[in-house]
């Protein structure tokens, strides 16, 4: 459908037209003999074997099992799942989860943050559909990235916090060292809140831009603020001590209500 055609329809009409359009087939997952497909919210079909879906996601596996039981007469199950979440279930997010199911590696977060939101959405999708093996794969990949030179620890901290991995976040804190925000990266945006403070430590929360502040759960932010109190983050911070205090704060059992 052309742009001119689209402008002549209401949102409801466009939704109906989209539903009638056959999905585009993903270039990597295009084997129709797989016998099952997942259709993303932006109408891209992933042809995969049903066993990968059932083994990879407890939620989707239960949905398929219950759907088969509810059929009259009972059947071996539906031949497809159609997803609708326009934030988490688009093809560019879904393909990374499907890749993990098929043994492909989790992408490394880029130092300029261009893929940070995408990778965070993958983790939210993993959490939404209860994919324990994928969560483990992502966690192991992020911990491995932390051992490599040139990988920004803050990006790993953000993603590990989305996995609610306290030990992983503490490991990222220990790797912070002399990492600082630099001026040679194009952060985009018009407001000053959309840009970090150049020359400041990447784990100095007061120097974060809005994207990173919004990406980390508030409890992790509070623990990091408390753990860094009294430390000179720009010169001689003891990151091992900060990581230990962060872990202590996060793992403390709250008092009974």
Give residue 69's pLDDT: 44
Q: Which residue has the higher pLDDT, 202 or 193?
A: 202
Report how far apart, in Å, the C-alpha atoms of 50 and of each of 18, 36, 164 are: 25, 6, 29
Give one DSSP letter per residue of 68-98, joined into a string: HHHSSS--S--SEEE---TTTSSHHHHHHHH
Q: Count structural domains, the chain.
A: 2
For residue 51, tell me if it sits in a domain.
yes
One domain for residues 243 and 153:
yes
One domain for residues 153 and 254:
yes
Model confidence band, residue 67 (pLDDT cutoffs 50, 70, 90): low
Pairing of strands 37-39, 80-82: parallel
Range of the domain at 30: 15-86
Domain boundary among the residues 52, 86, 120 is at 86
pLDDT tens, 117-157? 999 999 999 999 999 999 999 999 999 999 998 999 999 99
Model confidence band, residue 253 (pLDDT cutoffs 50, 70, 90): confident
pLDDT at 13 over 80: no
Pick the range with the lowest mean pLDDT from 47-56, 172-181, 192-201, 210-219.
Answer: 192-201
Give residue 9's pLDDT: 52
pLDDT at 70 over 70: no
Q: How much is the average pLDDT of 153-177?
A: 97
pLDDT tens, 211-232? 899 999 999 999 999 999 999 9
One domain for residues 81 and 162:
no
Domain boundary among the residues 47, 66, 86 is at 86
Give residue 21's pLDDT: 86
For residue 41, tell me if it sits in a domain.
yes
What percent of the chain stands above pLDDT 90? 69
Model confidence band, residue 72 (pLDDT cutoffs 50, 70, 90): very low
Q: Is 161 exposed, middle or buried (0-12, 13-18, 19+ CB in 10 A)?
A: buried
For residue 10, tell me if it sits in a domain.
no
Give residue 190's pLDDT: 42
């Amino acid at each position: 459908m052309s742009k001119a055609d689209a402008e002549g329809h209401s949102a409801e009409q466009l939704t109906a037209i989209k539903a009638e359009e056959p999905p585009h087939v993903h270039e990597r997952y295009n084997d129709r003999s797989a016998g099952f497909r997942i259709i993303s919210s932006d109408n891209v079909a992933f042809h995969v074997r049903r066993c990968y879906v059932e083994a990879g996601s407890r939620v989707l596996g239960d949905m398929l099992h219950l759907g088969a039981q509810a059929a009259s007469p009972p059947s071996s199950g539906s031949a497809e799942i159609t997803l609708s979440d326009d934030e988490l279930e688009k093809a560019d997010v879904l393909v990374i989860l499907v890749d993990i199911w098929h043994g492909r590696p989790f992408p490394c977060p880029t130092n300029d943050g261009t893929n940070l939101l995408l990778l965070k959405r993958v983790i939210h999708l993993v959490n939404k559909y209860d994919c324990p093996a994928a969560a483990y794969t992502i966690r192991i990949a992020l911990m491995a990235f932390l051992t490599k030179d040139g990988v920004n620890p803050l990006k790993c901290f953000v993603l590990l916090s989305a996995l609610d991995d306290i030990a992983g976040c503490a490991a990222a804190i220990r790797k912070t060292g002399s990492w600082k925000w630099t001026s040679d990266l194009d952060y985009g945006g018009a407001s000053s809140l959309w840009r970090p403070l150049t020359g400041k430590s990447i784990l100095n929360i007061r120097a974060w831009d809005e994207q990173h502040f919004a990406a980390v759960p508030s409890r992790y932010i509070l623990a990091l603020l408390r753990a860094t109190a009294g430390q000179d983050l720009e010169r001689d911070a003891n990151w091992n001590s900060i990581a230990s205090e962060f872990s202590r704060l996060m793992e403390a059992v709250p008092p009974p209500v």
